[in-house]
Amino acid sequence: MQNDDLEFLNCRNMLQAIEVDLETPSRAQVAQHLGLSRTAASAIAQKLIKAGLVTELESVRRGRGRPGTPLALDGHTWHALGSAFYSGAWNFVVINLLGKVVESRSIAITATDPSSVIDTLITGLLSIKESIPYKLIPGFGIGAPGLVDNRSGSIFRADDLGWQTIIPLKEIIETRTGIPALVMNRYRANGLAEIKFGNHNRSHNIIYLGIGTGISGSIYLDQVLMNSTNYRLGHIVIDPHGPLCGCGQKGCLQAMAGEGALISYAEQRKAQEPGFLQKLDGQQITGAAIAALAGSGDQDARSCLDQIAEPLAIAIATLTNAIAPDEIIIGGPLGDLSSYLVDRVRTLVYDRILDWQSAQMPILKGSQGPFGPAIGAATYVLNNKMELLFTQGCSS
């Protein structure tokens, strides 16, 4: 999305200044920050206030002269709807411009073929749109499974679901709903939520790795999401002689450390060793169940997580040497659930990098929970709110 109209750019720059660059600034402070005249800044501010994007706070006196009127985002008028595929369900959230979740829902997936998954998504989007009392920015944020092309909004493949043909998800949603769709990978969306709302303001270079049935993530350089290339963190080859991945390669990170690999290892050990994971006898073995047991100190469950911690550590150490991030965040269904897994990966990574690197690079557990990818998808809409709301330019 792009609008090169000068009036639009001035509006967007002022909104950026109010939202990110300055803290509750006055019109005069924004004018100075952007190199605008006070008259021009005041006129642009009025347009943003009229549009419901900015609000005026109570006037405060700063030094001599007339008291300034602080400007801030309007948290009451516009909201964004986001949805993401997460642990066998579509999760939906509605957030305001400040990122506050005002509505959340979840719809379980009963079949994993593309048509069924997309039908469930569209039904949920339209149901929420029609039933909530909030004014929505005209766009759906989508955190989709698999390798997503940012430009076309298509899913190229989703190996963990067995999808190996191109699915034009953006085109399908827009054709059936008449509303613009902004599509990104679900774990990249989760990373977007983490960076925006996870208190990482002091870090400029961050790697977020989401671990679930698939493995993907986000890379941030100079606080900017790398979203223009189709990098595939889950398909870094850890062992060229390792298990076959759905993508056709051997020894991919996803094949060695995704939830499928964890469950496969647990089932194999349980079949070979009487009493292994005894506390799960009669229950379905899932990543969540193993994570819960490991958290309670069960050594069998911890040995299962140890099995996937090693390849995760190899991948993260490799990325660390290539990118030198300020922080690593491990999330997704397994990362969010298991402090033990994150702790174990941290120890193994620190064993593989230099002392000064480990001293300067924390490895943290994700903080956004199961609705994090949906929050990130909605945040993707917020990040494009000017383009979605001012399709004809930022005029009075």
In the chain, the amino acid numbered 59 is S
Same-domain status, 93 and 58: no
Same-domain status, 221 and 353: yes
Residue 123 lies in a domain: yes
Strand duo 206-211 + 327-331: pairing = parallel
CA gap 168, 148 in Å, rounded: 10
List the CATH number of the domain containing 69.
1.10.10.10
Same-domain status, 332 and 206: yes
Q: Are 90 and 110 in contact (CB under 8 A)?
A: no
Same-domain status, 235 and 319: yes
Same-domain status, 97 and 128: yes
Work out the angle at residue 87's Cα, subtended by the Cα atoms of residues 186 and 158, and round it to the nearest 5 degrees: 50
Residue 66 lies in a domain: yes
Where a domain ends, among 44, 74, 104? 74
Evaluated on CA atoms 174, 175, 177, 179, the torsion sign reads positive
Same-domain status, 219 and 337: yes
Residue 142 lies in a domain: yes
Residue 1 lies in a domain: no
Which pair of structure tokens corresponds to residue 365? 């557990």
List the CATH number of the domain containing 174.
3.30.420.40
Where a domain ends, among 74, 91, 120? 74
The count of residues in the chain is 396
- Structural domains counted in the chain: 3
Start-to-end C-alpha separation, the chain: 21
Same-domain status, 100 and 185: yes
Residue 394 lies in a domain: no
Same-domain status, 23 and 117: no
Sole residue written with tokens 């419901």 = 52
| Of 210, 146, 239, the residue nearest 366 (C-alpha) | 210
Range of the domain at 255: 202-367
Q: Which residues of 194-226 are buried (b: 16+ CB within 10 A; e: fewer)?
A: bbbbbebeebebbbbbbbbbbbbbbbbeeeebe
Give the pLDDT score at 92.
Answer: 98
In the chain, the amino acid numbered 68 is G
Where a domain ends, among 43, 74, 105? 74
Residue 282 lies in a domain: yes
Same-domain status, 224 and 354: yes
| Residue pLDDT tens, the chain, 396 long | 555 588 889 999 999 999 989 999 999 999 999 999 999 999 999 999 999 999 999 865 555 555 678 999 999 999 999 999 998 899 999 999 999 999 999 999 989 999 999 999 999 999 999 999 999 999 999 999 988 998 899 999 898 888 989 999 999 999 999 999 999 999 999 989 988 888 887 788 999 999 998 898 889 888 788 877 777 899 999 999 999 998 889 999 999 999 999 999 999 999 999 899 999 998 999 999 999 999 999 999 999 999 999 999 999 999 999 989 999 999 998 999 999 999 999 999 999 998 888 888 999 999 888 999 999 999 999 999 999 999 876 765
Question: Per the confidence metrics, is the pTM higher than 0.75?
Answer: yes
Residue 396 lies in a domain: no
Long-range contacts of residues 215-220, Cβ cutoff 8 Å, at least 24 apart: 215/187, 215/253, 215/254, 215/257, 215/258, 215/332, 216/185, 216/186, 216/187, 216/188, 217/187, 217/188, 217/191, 218/187, 218/188, 218/190, 218/191, 218/192, 218/194, 219/323, 220/191, 220/195
Work out the angle at residue 312's Cα, subtended by the Cα atoms of residues 341 and 332, and round it to the nearest 5 degrees: 60
Which pair of structure tokens corresponds to residue 228? 């223009």
Give the pLDDT score at 229.
Answer: 73
